[in-house]
Amino acid sequence: MVRFAGLVCIAFTGVFVACSAKHDETQVPAQSAPPPYAMPAVLGVDALEDQDPDPNIVEVSIVASRTRAEFKAGSPTTVWAYNGTLPGPLLKAKVGDDVVVHFKNDLAEPTTIHWHGLRISDQMDGSPRIQNPVKPGEEFTYRFRVPDAGSYWYHPHVKTDVQVEKGLYGPLVVFDPKDPVYDGERFLVIDDIRLESSGSISPLNGMDYTMGGRFGNTLLTNGRPANEAKAAVEQGTVERWRIVNPANARTMVLGVEGASFRIIATDGGLLPEPYTTSRVTVAVGQRYDLEVTYDQPGQAKLINYVLSQDSAGKVKEVPVPSFVVDVAGSARAPRAIAWPKVKQPDRPADTNATMTLNLQQDADGNPVWTINGKAMAMDPLFTWAQGSTVLLTIVNKIKTEHPFHLHGQFFEILDDASQPGLKDVVLVPSGGTVKFRAYMDNPGRWMAHCHILEHAEIGMMGEIVVSPTPGAPGPDNAPHG
């Protein structure tokens, strides 16, 4: 009830602030106000329109429905999409904003929206364990305050293997007025889809569930075949590329040719120290932000290094250009990027825990993926007090990699200097182990699962509980008002 009362106030505050701003115009000279922060444009995707004039409230409408796309000329594909576009439209906010999303489900089955990576209240996280899924024809309003700047995405959390594959996913950016300023920002949503020759999306099959998940045969960049993604810039331009991998199962290995780049942000936002690398492995659900400096004329290309099997069964690497930029020669010098001070939690672990991933059989002999021996566990795997720092070891008993995702918290991978920064997804290698330090700062009930959606849907899904603790560290995510 208390939470609900607070939410009603937001709407009221919105009206109130809008009115008082108008009133002020007649009394205060315009030049006395500093210019408000303007969020940068993001190229490559359409943005949702903010319906609330209050600069601290973002109010948008999202409808999920069936629509048509055409990936192969003359062979239309039925997709499920947010606001009729693939990917769904970009949700933009700045850190500390209250976000109001009026969601309508025009699909023929129930769904929710999960705001992947945002440390918001569990009541608004789209988990069907907490929120009754939105039925066909019904509406639900998501209200939350965004506590952390970074690149995120949103997708359903009901029958995810089918609903995400059909096209329900969209990008989300939380800006910080202290973010470094670039000549341009882009979002690149790098997906794969499995299409029949008729153009329709292939149904999932048994192997997709018991092996490494559903791999596609067509790479998409921002909802179009990868070879269509193009742009043109002038030499000397410096851009921020925000990349997400929303595929059902495919780990993407990416690099940039014909321009220099460094990694500036991970799932949890800007890195204290950017780093250079020739390739970046983007597990399902992860985000990486690249700072790309077009330092030579010609073509700069984002390459997806795809592993593919030839007819003899030999695995080889195929470099697939997934975004091509024509760079016009120029003597212009790249702008100097001033790196802000980035604070990240850095606390020693006070608790240890282990999660073991396995493929087992249920009572009827059907294969199920498990965490600590349980498929689709309904009781919490662990309960920790808010503010705990958990040294979590994930042991993978199976020769299949698993991108393990924890809702509502960030963590830091240990013993691997090549993966710095805060994450909410970690790739657990085939038959291997990873260790990370998780900052359990956001109270609530949180899903913990493999982000290979076929694995999650047949059991590799559990929940952890973070119990509220007065005075403990926590994200600033209580709605205003």
**Which residues form the interface with Cu ion (CB under 5 A)?**
402, 450, 452, 455
Partner whose footprint covers residue 250, from ligand C2O, Cu ion, none (CB < 5 to 8 Å by kind): none
Residues 364-383 touching ligand C2O, rule: CB under 6 A, are none
Complex with ligand C2O: residue 120 or 342, whichever CB lies closer: 120
Partner whose footprint covers residue 155, from Cu ion, ligand C2O, none (CB < 5 to 8 Å by kind): ligand C2O
Complex with ligand C2O: residue 267 or 291, whichever CB lies closer: 267
Give the integer Cα–Cα distance in Å for 170 and 164: 10
Give the integer Cα–Cα distance in Å for 188 and 190: 6
- Pairing relationship of beta strands 461-467 and 315-328 according to DSSP bridges: unpaired
Least distance from ligand C2O to the Cβ atom of residue 407, Å: 6
Burial class (CB in 10 A: 0-12, 13-18, 19+), 195: middle
Which member of 155, 186, 240, 402 binds ligand C2O (CB under 6 A)? 155
- Looking at residue 468, its amino acid is P
Is 447 a binding residue for ligand C2O by CB under 6 A? The answer is: yes
Least distance from Cu ion to the Cβ atom of residue 219, Å: 21
Residues 402-421 touching ligand C2O, rule: CB under 6 A, are 405, 407
Taking a C-beta distance cutoff of 8 angstroms, is the pair 255, 303 a contact? yes
Least distance from ligand C2O to the Cβ atom of residue 451, Å: 6
Complex with Cu ion: residue 94 or 455, whichever CB lies closer: 455
Q: What is the token pair recorded at 469?
A: 């603790």
Which member of 114, 240, 402, 437 binds ligand C2O (CB under 6 A)? 114
Is 116 a binding residue for ligand C2O by CB under 6 A? The answer is: yes
Least distance from Cu ion to the Cβ atom of residue 56, Å: 39
Complex with ligand C2O: residue 405 or 437, whichever CB lies closer: 405
Q: How far is CA 331 from CA 21, 90, 306, 427, in A?
A: 45, 34, 35, 42
Residues 247-286 touching ligand C2O, rule: CB under 6 A, are 285
Torsion angle of alpha carbons 213, 215, 219, 220, nearest 10°? -40
Task: Report which residue's Cβ sits closest to ligand C2O.
Answer: 116
Nearest to 213 by CA among 452, 408, 459, 52: 452
Ramachandran region, residue 388 (left: φ > 0; alpha: ψ -120 to 50; beta: rest): beta
Q: What is the token pair recorded at 197?
A: 């020759």
Residues that bind ligand C2O (CB under 6 A): 114, 116, 155, 157, 285, 405, 407, 447, 449, 451
